[in-house]
């Protein structure tokens, strides 16, 4: 299954990236990013094994939530200066698109989120209201 393979490759890319974080992040940001990354592929696999469409959709939605969580950790890592996340963010975008396509085709449901990402350069010093406005504006454009 292509979506699981891409999610698995994404996790394999997250591990070495987080391995280069400062030692103080071993049980903090690095662990959280790894756990959320693993959860993506694990929930895709669990959803694949479900027989009913609502159960399948539930696990695929959990996978999407984990993907968005991991995407945030990558944004945070970039902002903290722990490394360049562009490659991994691109991979996360691809997994998100495939996950949504798989969910529509095999479970009959749309996932609650779709390719959420905070545009680069606005993740710091932006109020919640302004951020929601920018994200809403971005979603309406494309």
Q: Could you state, in order of their start, the residue ranges of all structural domains in the chain?
A: 2-112
Say whether pTM exceeds 0.95.
Answer: no
**Mean per-residue pLDDT, 118-130:** 46
**Mean per-residue pLDDT, 116-123:** 44
| pLDDT tens per residue across span 58-112 | 999 999 999 999 999 999 999 999 999 999 999 999 999 999 888 888 656 555 4
Domain 2-112 architecture: Up-down Bundle (1.20)
- Report the pLDDT value the prediction gives residue 108, as an integer from 0 to 100: 61
Which long-range contacts does 91-98 make (Cβ < 8 Å, 24+ apart)?
A: 91/6, 91/9, 91/10, 91/13, 92/10, 92/67, 92/117, 93/117, 94/6, 95/3, 95/6, 95/7, 95/10, 95/40, 95/67, 96/64, 96/67, 98/2, 98/3, 98/6
- Report the pLDDT value the prediction gives residue 117, as an integer from 0 to 100: 41
């Amino acid at each position: 299954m292509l979506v699981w393979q891409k999610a698995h490759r994404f996790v394999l890319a997250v591990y070495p990236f987080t391995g280069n974080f400062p030692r103080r992040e071993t049980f903090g940001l690095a662990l959280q990013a790894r756990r959320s990354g693993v959860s993506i592929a694990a929930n895709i696999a669990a959803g694949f094994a479900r027989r009913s469409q609502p159960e399948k959709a539930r696990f695929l939605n959990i996978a999407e939530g984990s993907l968005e969580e991991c995407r945030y950790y990558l944004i945070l890592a970039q902002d903290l200066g722990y490394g360049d996340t562009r490659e991994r963010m691109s991979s996360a975008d691809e997994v998100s698109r495939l996950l949504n396509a798989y969910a529509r085709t095999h479970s009959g449901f749309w996932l609650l989120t779709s390719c959420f990402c905070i545009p680069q350069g606005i993740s710091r010093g932006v109020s919640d209201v302004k951020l929601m406005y920018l994200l809403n504006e971005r979603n309406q454009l494309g």
